[in-house]
């Protein structure tokens, strides 16, 4: 029996054709015409005026934080349970992540806990949509307005998802995407910042490219990195974007299949299929071991690997990261639901190239082990 990888992207549209165009025309760098086209189409898809493509989703968050002039001593509210890119973008500029526990059912940050964490130092809320359901956007936007805070929306896992019928990626002062191969749209590596604010967009363009001054080249007033995005990446992205709707539908099919096939297993909780504001898009199909199971996620993923099934455990909480503990951050902080998800959550093969046969086999193996 062949190993079933946790993710395999689908690249059988126009990817090859557009890539050949890059080779034939010689346009392979960030100066190539596909980059602007991809920025325009991707930002239009989420109703934004400007799109700034960067080398990955982590870079997109870093540029977003710097573009908003968040710095030394500022506080940014974010979930305790997320990818470290979110916290790194903040700590890199000397600002402090202020953490929020998760909602046990949706796995997103519990927005009802945000207000009590707002202080005079709070500059922004980082709203990270996780695993397939959006954060309760209206509550976050309401707080941001009330306290005059910026919103950074991390929509890395949300291409094609909506909140109350408006696209994810349309809500932040700045919103970001990733095009890593396990996202709904991939460019191998890649990311994008979207915004409606012209000044912010210009600042993001500068920050992604070493902060070259516009008037005199090779003269710099500020420091940043090289986060440029290539024409080759954009070629793949354009081909992927053409199929976004189809991809979202496929993800939802995978979600429905697994939910039906696994619903009789007692020791696990499955993703919430729908809320009042969104239908799950199943970025990946996550499973959380419940109180009836004594296993940890690491034990289950090991057993599944022995059965030829690729998996990943869920994210590890920010307050439990050794690197931040060494720095004395988050001392004695506890986030009960986030810690539970980090120890008991994992996801199973759910990439766009997954076949029905593979899904059946994954479900069989889960029944066997659990």
Q: Given the complex with ligand PLP, which of 177 and 340 has the nearer CB atom?
A: 177
Stretch touching ligand PLP by CB under 6 A, among 53-61, 133-141, 208-216, 299-307: 53-61
* Residue 318 beta carbon to ligand PLP: minimum distance, rounded to whole angstroms: 12
Cα 126 versus chain centre, distance: 12
Round to whole Å and give the CA distance between 32 and 39. 12
Does 85 contact ligand PLP by CB under 6 A?
Answer: yes
Contact region for ligand PLP (CB under 6 A) — 50-58, 109-117, 252-260, 333-341?
Answer: 50-58
**Contact with ligand PLP (CB under 6 A) among 178, 269, 297, 358:** 178
Using CB under 6 A, pick the residue from 51, 191, 237, 255 that binds ligand PLP. Answer: 191
Applying CB under 6 A, does 195 fall inside the site for ligand PLP? no
Please identify which residue in 67, 70, 83, 144 interacts with ligand PLP, judged by CB under 6 A.
Answer: 83
Is residue 79 part of the contact set for ligand PLP (CB under 6 A)? Answer: no
Helix (H) or strand (E) holding 123: strand 122-128
User: Does 57 interact with ligand PLP (rule: CB under 6 A)?
Assistant: yes
Residue with Cβ nearer ligand PLP (85 or 195): 85
Q: Which one, 58 or 297, has the nearer CB to ligand PLP? A: 58
Does 58 sit near ligand PLP (CB under 6 A)? yes
- Interface positions, 138-167, toward ligand PLP (CB under 6 A): 154, 156-157
What is the biggest distance separating any 2 CA atoms in the chain, rounded to whole angstroms? 66
Distance CA(14)–CA(11), nearest Å, equals: 8
Q: What is the dihedral of CA 139, 194, 353, 361, to 10 degrees?
A: -20
Among 52-60, 217-225, 322-330, 351-359, the segment contacting ligand PLP (CB under 6 A): 52-60
Element (H, E) at 31: none
Q: Does 56 participate in binding ligand PLP (rule CB under 6 A)?
A: yes
Of residues 290 through 309, those in contact with ligand PLP by CB under 6 A are: none
The contacts of residue 213 (CB under 8 Å, 6+ apart) are 219, 220, 221
For residues 338 and 317, the answer to whether their CB atoms sit within 8 Å is yes
Nearer to ligand PLP, 85 or 240 (CB): 85
Q: In this complex, which beta carbon is closest to ligand PLP, that of residue 57 or of residue 351? A: 57
Nearer to ligand PLP, 184 or 365 (CB): 184
52 binds ligand PLP (CB under 6 A): no
Kindly state the smallest distance separating residue 291's Cβ from ligand PLP, in Å: 27
Select the residue whose beta carbon is closest to ligand PLP and give its number: 57
Cα 187 to Cα 11: distance, rounded to the nearest angstrom: 10
Answer whether 268's CB lies under 8 Å from 287's CB: yes
Give alpha helix (H) positions in 78-177.
Answer: 84-91, 137-147
Cβ neighbourhood burial of 2 (10 Å; 0-12, 13-18, 19+): exposed
CA angle 136, 142, 146 (to 5 degrees): 150
Q: Which of 316, 343, 57, 3 is nearest to 176 (CA)?
A: 57
Residue 320, CA atoms < 13 Å, CB-side half-sphere: 18
């Amino acid at each position: 029996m062949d190993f079933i990888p946790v993710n395999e992207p689908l690249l059988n549209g126009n990817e090859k054709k557009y890539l050949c165009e890059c080779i034939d025309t010689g346009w392979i760098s960030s100066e190539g015409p596909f980059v602007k086209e991809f920025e325009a189409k991707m930002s239009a898809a989420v109703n934004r005026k400007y799109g700034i493509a960067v080398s990955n989703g982590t870079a997109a968050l870093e540029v977003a934080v710097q573009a908003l002039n968040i710095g030394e001593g500022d506080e940014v509210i974010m979930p305790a349970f997320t990818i470290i890119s979110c916290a790194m973008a903040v700590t890199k500029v000397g600002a402090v992540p202020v953490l929020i526990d998760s909602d046990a059912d949706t796995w997103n940050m519990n927005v009802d806990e945000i207000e009590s964490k707002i202080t005079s130092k709070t500059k922004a809320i980082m709203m990270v949509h996780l695993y397939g359901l959006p954060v309760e956007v209206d509550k976050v936007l309401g707080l941001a307005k009330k306290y005059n805070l910026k919103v950074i929306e991390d929509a890395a896992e949300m291409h094609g998802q909506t909140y109350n019928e408006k696209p994810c990626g349309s809500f932040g002062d700045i919103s970001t995407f990733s095009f890593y191969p396990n996202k709904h749209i991939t460019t191998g590596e890649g990311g994008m910042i979207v915004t409606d604010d012209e000044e912010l967009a210009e600042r993001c363009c500068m920050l992604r490219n070493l902060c070259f001054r516009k008037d005199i080249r090779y003269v710099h007033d500020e420091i940043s990195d090289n986060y440029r995005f290539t024409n080759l990446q954009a070629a793949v992205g354009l081909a992927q974007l053409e199929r976004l709707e189809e991809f979202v539908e496929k993800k939802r099919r995978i979600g429905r299949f697994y939910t039906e096939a696994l619903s009789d297993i007692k020791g696990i909780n499955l993703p919430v299929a729908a809320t009042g504001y969104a239908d799950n898009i199943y970025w990946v199909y996550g499973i959380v071991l419940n109180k009836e199971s004594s296993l940890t996620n690491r034990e289950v993923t090991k057993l599944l690997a022995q059965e030829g099934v690729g998996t990943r455990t869920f994210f590890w909480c920010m307050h439990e990261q050794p690197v931040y503990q060494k720095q004395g951050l988050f001392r004695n902080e506890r986030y009960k639901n986030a810690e539970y998800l980090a120890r008991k959550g994992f996801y199973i093969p759910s990439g766009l190239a997954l076949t029905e046969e593979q899904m059946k086999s994954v479900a069989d193996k889960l029944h066997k082990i659990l």
